[in-house]
Structures are given as structure tokens and as C-alpha cells.
Amino acid sequence: MIIMKFGGTSVENARSMESVIQIVARERERQPLVVLSAIAGATNDLLTCAQNALEGKLDDSVSVLNNLLERHVTIAENIIDNRPSYQQVIQFCRRRIEELRNLCQGIAILGELTNRSLDAISSVGERMSSMILCEGMKQRGFSVELVDARTFMFTDEHYASAVPLFDRIDSKAREVFSPLLKSGKIPITQGFIGCTIKGITTTLGRGGADYSAAILGAALDAEEIQIWTDVDGVLTADPRIAPKAQKLKIISFREASELAYFGAKVLHPSTILPAIKKNIPVVVLNSKRPESTGTRIVANPPKTNVPVKSIASKKGITVINIQSTRMLMAHGFLESIFAVFNRHKTSVDLVSTSEVAVSLTIDNSEQLENIVTELKNFSDVAIYDQKAIVCIVGDQMNSTAGIADKIFSALGDINVMMISMGASEINMSLVIEENRVDDAVRQLHKEFFEPVPEVELFDAVGVN
């Protein structure tokens, strides 16, 4: 069997939903199980409407809800011709919106919004989208079955970012889905939503539908997990910076994880961990271009002689240089530095140390002032802002001689402030001036990918 997860943009309107149906139909022989997100923007809207209610702006809440209902009705109208099923879907959506109106009223009156209520509210997006798709498919003659995620996706009670109870999910998911799949049915279920043992609705956190897909895939020993989104997959660079960027056919989980920090708009690799642990390939595909072959993310891709796979970058980086001749070699110095960042809930991205100094980078400088004040209690601190990180990723980089040489000669006159690369690292990260970062990416891309290395690893973007 395979898991086919469709993100919000894949079901944002009737046309997209129509192509989802065709994409699923193509895979009919492989026993697909469909995991669905809410339609694009719906989860945001639902959260906004709860927030409005909390602030006493009930009219705003209601108008967000009405809009949302309108969008669902329009999709249903265009997807479902059969009158009774259309009526059934509309009824369902109207009821959910009505419930939400009441909930919002309660929130406004009490002036209180708990995460538990938030989950009850935000889960409605997936419940409506899956209902519409299910009826749309039925009408086209598919034998489908809508399975409420709350019958198998058991979680703890950490509302808004609930932790899945894997053992329970594994056995229940098998019990629920195996007979359906055996009888040739296509099950459709909601991503993102879960449920406590006591039966209260929870959610797995924003973007949680990928996680749902991976958890289900792992529970059911799927042969593949397809994550359908609106990008072709993982690229060698951002094509807006390097127009000759190529799509990678396959990439390791570790490589994908390194790239995730740089906002590779694909998926957050930690969400697919349950699948990777079981060696189930995850394929990122573009529902706007169903003929595209996507990027496979696997635990151990076959070795190639291509050391560098992708170049990513991130602007808005601040470098903090911490110096203390007195303390550096004393044990506990690094610990006291990190404790400061920890206290201010600021995560450190790159670290590089010398005998007398520690340099590190952060991308969230909200707490910078407080951090610096504390660091100054025991060291000298210098701040450099408007920097950028360029990250060169490839899991054979550390075993290929001459890579650093190539990187630095490609950079030419671009000054490198800080370098980070560990012993088993699959990436080299460099800190440079923000205003040179696009040049750096272009020059590195030219060095490593232009011309495209002759290996079965690359596809031109927008071709396949």
C-alpha cells in the first residue's frame, strides 16, 4: 500500500481537487490511502477567528467563518453534481461552522481561549476538506471510505502539539485500514487531527499533516509515502537566485534535514522521521505538475560521485563573538554561554571556537539585548548583524578531497567571516555579508552544477 498526502494548496479549489482525484486514480493499483490537509489558508483562518473571538471581535470571527464556509461551498458545488451528496456535504459544513460560531461566542464571553478549544476549532478544516473529497470521489465511481482520524490517531493531552501514542496508533490503524485496503477501498482520512484516549480532539501542531502521513505509513508498512505539495521537490539552489537550478531525484534524510533550516519549502524532515526509521521512502511531488517525478527522501541513497547536492542560504543572521581570555579554557565556559541563550529561548545555529573566542550565530535577535547584557557579566561581546549563512550540503562532502578549495575559489573576493564543519558533517556553513549572499550562491552553483554533472541525479526544473 502507499500513503498519498495532499497539502492545502493541492485542494485549494475545485480544479486542484479534481486533479487530486486523477492523481489518486493513477495509483489505484497500489492500494492508496489518502491523507488530507485543510484547504489552503483554512487552518490560519480558523486560528484567526478564535483569536478574534478572544479579543471580543465577534463580528470579525463570524465573517471569517462565513468566508470559509463560502469557499467550501464553492468547491463542493463544482466537484459534486449529485444533489443528495452535495446537500449532505453542505449540511455537514454548515453544521461545523455553526458549532464554531457558538464556540467563538463562548470564547468571547469567557475571554479565555485554551489550546483544547483551539484544537477543536482548527481541526474543522481537515474535517470539511476530507468530506468534500470523499463525496467527489464517490460520485466519480471510486469506492472510497472516509475514516475519521480520531478513531486511530491517539495522542497525549498536549493540545495544539499533541504527541502521538505510537503503539496504540499502530495496532488501531492496522485494525481500521487493513480490511478496507484488502477489500479494494480507498480510505481517505484527515492529517493533523488526533484524539486523546478519552476522545477529545487534539492536533499534532502546524504542518502536522505530513507527520500524520509518516505515522500512518510506518504503522501500515507502506511501500512509499507521497507528499503532494506545490513545488517540484528539493532543488540544487533557489531558482530565483540560480536560474539554472536543478531538481534532485533523490536525497538523504540527513541532507534534507540540513536544508530544512534554510526554508527549503518542502517539508520539515523531523515530521517524516517515523517513515525514515522504517526505511520507507518519502517522495515529495508537485500536484500542479503531476507528471513531475519529485524528489525521493530516503535513509541511505545510493552513492554517487557528486559531493555537493544543494546550496542554500539564509539572510538576517547575527553573529555574536564572545571572548574571555580568563575563562575560555576553564571548563563550564561553553555551558554558561549556552545557558544564557537557553534562558532567553533563542536557538543557536552555527558555533565555531578558537582558543580565546566563541563565535555563534542566531537568526532570531528579539532577545539580543538581554542576551548580550548577561554575556557581558563574564566576557567581552561583539555583535555583527546583517550577515548571511551559505550552506553547502552533500553527504559525501567530508570524504571528498579538494571540496573546500573549490568552495573558496568559487567565492572569489567574497569575504568569509566564520566557517562551521564538523567531522562527520555533511554540510559546510559559511557566514558572509548579507549583501553578497546571492552572488555567493550563484558562484557556488556555477562551480558545482554548471554544467550539470553527468549522473542520474538531476532533472531540469519544470521539465520532470
Kindly calculate the radius of gyration of the chain based on its CA atoms and give it in whole angstroms. 25
Angle between helix axes 166-182 and 208-219 (nearest 10 degrees) is 70
Scanning the structure block, which residue is given the C-alpha cell 540560480?
242
**Smallest gap from residue 40 Cβ to ligand ASP (A):** 8
C-alpha cell of 329? 579554557
Pattern 18-37, binding to Mg ion, x per CB under 5 A?
Answer: -------------------x
Whole-angstrom Cα distance, residue 52 to residue 381?
42
Of 33, 209, 231, 242, the one binding ligand ASP by CB under 6 A: 209
3-state secondary structure of 238: coil
Q: Which 168-187 positions form the footprint of ligand ASP (CB under 6 A)?
A: none
Tell me if 47 contacts ligand ASP by CB under 6 A: no
Task: Tell me how many residues contact ligand ASP (CB under 6 A).
Answer: 13
Strand ranges (E), 1-91: 2-6, 32-36
Q: Please, is 65 exposed, middle or buried when counting C-beta atoms within 10 Å of its C-beta (0-12, 13-18, 19+)? A: buried
Q: Which 130-169 positions form the footprint of Mg ion (CB under 5 A)?
A: none
- Candidates 205-213, 294-302, 378-386, 387-395 — which segment interacts with ligand ASP by CB under 6 A? 205-213
Of 10, 19, 37, 286, the one binding ligand ASP by CB under 6 A: 37
Measured from the CB atom, the residue of 122 and 196 that comes closer to ligand ASP is 122
Tell me if 191 contacts Mg ion by CB under 5 A: no
**Smallest gap from residue 8 Cβ to ligand ASP (A):** 5
Measured from the CB atom, the residue of 7 and 194 that comes closer to ligand ASP is 7
Whole-angstrom Cα distance, residue 81 to residue 78?
7
Q: Provide the pairing of β-strand 224-229 with 282-286.
A: parallel
Whole-angstrom Cα distance, residue 127 to residue 133?
10
3-state secondary structure of 115: helix
The option from Mg ion, ligand ASP, none interacting with 140 (CB < 5 to 8 A, set by class) reads none
- Which residue's CB atom is positioned nearest to ligand ASP? 209
Q: Which 94-133 positions form the footprint of ligand ASP (CB under 6 A)?
A: 125
Q: 182 with 239: CB under 8 angstroms?
A: no
Of 218, 177, 242, which is closest to residue 392 (Cα–Cα)?
Answer: 242
Length of the chain, in residues: 464
**Smallest gap from residue 35 Cβ to Mg ion (A):** 11
Tell me if 269 contacts ligand ASP by CB under 6 A: no
Tell me if 38 contacts ligand ASP by CB under 6 A: yes
**Smallest gap from residue 37 Cβ to Mg ion (A):** 5
Q: Give the Å distances, CA to CA, from 44 to 48, 142, 313, 357, 416.
A: 6, 31, 27, 43, 40
Q: How far does Cα 375 stand from its chain's mean position?
A: 34
Q: Provide the pairing of β-strand 418-420 with 380-393.
A: unpaired
Tell me if 192 contacts ligand ASP by CB under 6 A: yes
Measured from the CB atom, the residue of 245 and 282 that comes closer to ligand ASP is 282
Whole-angstrom Cα distance, residue 373 to residue 369?
6
Of 1, 3, 7, 136, the one binding Mg ion by CB under 5 A: 7
- Candidates 204-212, 339-347, 348-356, 437-445 — which segment interacts with ligand ASP by CB under 6 A? 204-212
Of 136, 208, 307, 394, the one binding ligand ASP by CB under 6 A: 208
Q: How far does Cα 416 stand from its chain's mean position?
A: 30
**Smallest gap from residue 39 Cβ to Mg ion (A):** 10
Q: What are phi and psi of 133, to 5 degrees?
A: -60, -40
**Smallest gap from residue 403 Cβ to ligand ASP (A):** 36
Binding residues vs Mg ion (CB under 5 A): 7-8, 37
Binding residues vs ligand ASP (CB under 6 A): 7-8, 37-38, 43, 125, 191-192, 206-210
